[in-house]
Homo-oligomer: A and B are copies of this chain.
Amino acid sequence: MLKNALSSLLLAALAGPAPIRFTTGEAYSAGAVAAYRGSHDKAYAHIDANLARHLESIQRWVRQPSVSAQNRGIAEMAAMLRDDLQKLGFKEAELVPTTGHPGVWAYYDAGAPRTLVLYLMYDVQPEETGWTVDPYEGALVDRDFGRVLMARGAVNQKGPERAFLNAVESIIATAGTLPVNIMVAAEGEEELGSPHYPEIIARYEHRLRTAQGVLFPMSGQDRNGAAGMAMGVKGIVSFELEAKGAARGGPQRAEIHSSLKAVVDAPAWRLVQALSTLVSEDGNTILVPGYYDDIRQPTLEEQKLVNAALPDLPAREEAMKKSLAVTRFVDGLSGRDMLSRLFFSTTININGIWSGYTGPGGKTILPHVATARLDTRLVPDQQPQKQMDLIRKHLDARGFADVTLRQISGYPPAQTSVEAPLVQAAISVYNKHGATPIVSPRNAGSAPYYVFTDRLKLPMIPAGLGHGGGAHAPDEYLVIEPRAGSRIASLAQMEKFYVDLLYALAASRG
């Protein structure tokens, strides 16, 4: 025990990430990119004339539950996506069997020189308690922001995705075809960590390599209407730690009476103790030796992107705090330090923990098993397997070899350069719409973009106008018709943005 406590002491003194070093004060200027000058009035008019029907298409999607974690409505949603793509004119549109939930592949051959890959996810997170509307009703409600669609999947990701397809419909209806070819590569397991997406990509790999880039439709305006676009995503590993009664001690078959704690080892305490060694007392510094070692310093481009975000950051921080219902960020961080932590730091987080009797009243038992589900977010150049190995090694070294580490899923981070033609085309369209984006080096969230950026060497961005919130939380929403005076885009504007983006990409230097 003395030895372990001494280890803690040394670890606490030595642990933590290397300080993030900025070597330039220069800021990237998205506003300096020339605004897109095209105008596609027939398509815009078609959008305006068909907006009610376009909204209904989004509602039809969110009314179809597609909870990948519970295999609920997955087959139905995959079929709905395929059928919608066929109706839009994608000659190829098919389900892609995987060893998990099926993917959807589709191809629209416009005979164009350029090809855009559309990454779509058709699954959603399980609904949680605390919703004020039925999460699958497709409710339209009036809130502070104006009229919003409040539903599971409204913003993550059915709303923006179907809005993009609405734009595709309006271009084809008015111009007869698209300015670029589109390949759709959709999955139904994004919320599970995309364990089988590589199978889908492998099947169409040669064709995908011919594309100029990959788009993920995403409504990237915040509550004040400020647009954002991220040049990368963090990697993620979902894993479980579990303590069970075994040779090390504790009941192996079932829970026992809690009075026997006097002479029987308790798996729940083992799990708590093992977990507690992973992070500092405030939960914010990882104490697993070597966990930060593979993190590279921010590149010059990444530094410039952070520097560009600083001027209006205070207001965005306040909006973020309000939206998350937090009174502070970790360690009271703000400004460049807060952004650096958000973009450049790895995390270990408890998604859920459970053991014993968790119902009403009480049950005085000593549980025979205790489990925690965690995720770790990874930044370049961390790799999933290496980080898991470090945790396992740490647990063993600290005397927790009896605690099982079970990896559920995982993939590495991904990064795209702001200089890629697809990115420059997107910025030019944002600029045309008066919504010059805050281009961030990375999204703190995760998506399996590595299959595109690392495997296919394609630039990959999320882009789009519109504002939503509550992804993975109650009352998820997407603004459909903002209140007067708001800088948030309406559904019609979201769709017109995508019209312009397809034409801008067709005209790009890429």
Contact = CB atoms under 8 A, between A and B. Distances in A.
Contacts of A443: 259
Given A236-B364, A272-B276, A364-B375, A266 B13 contact: no
B364 A472 contact: yes
B364 A251 contact: no
Given A263-B338, A265-B283, A326 B251 contact: yes
Contact of A351 (B333, B353, B363, B444): B363
Contacts of A114: none
Contacts of A364: 191, 236, 238, 349, 351, 375, 446, 472
B249 A377 contact: no
A4 B281 contact: yes
A248 B340 CA distance: 22
A292 to B, nearest CB: 13
A264 interface: yes
Interface string A351-385: 11111111111111111101001010100000000
Quick one: copies of this chain in the complex?
Answer: 2
A324 to B, nearest CB: 5
Q: Is the interface of A mostly helix, strand, loop or mixed?
A: mixed
A254 B325 contact: yes
Interface of A: 1-2, 4-6, 8-9, 12-13, 67-70, 125-126, 128, 130, 191-193, 234, 236, 238, 245-247, 249-266, 268-270, 272-273, 275-276, 279-284, 324-330, 333, 338, 341-343, 345, 347-368, 370, 373, 375, 377, 399, 408-409, 443-446, 471-474
14 contacts: A1-B12, A2-B9, A8-B9, A69-B359, A245-B325, A258-B347, A259-B377, A259-B445, A262-B341, A265-B328, A350-B370, A351-B362, A362-B375, A365-B472
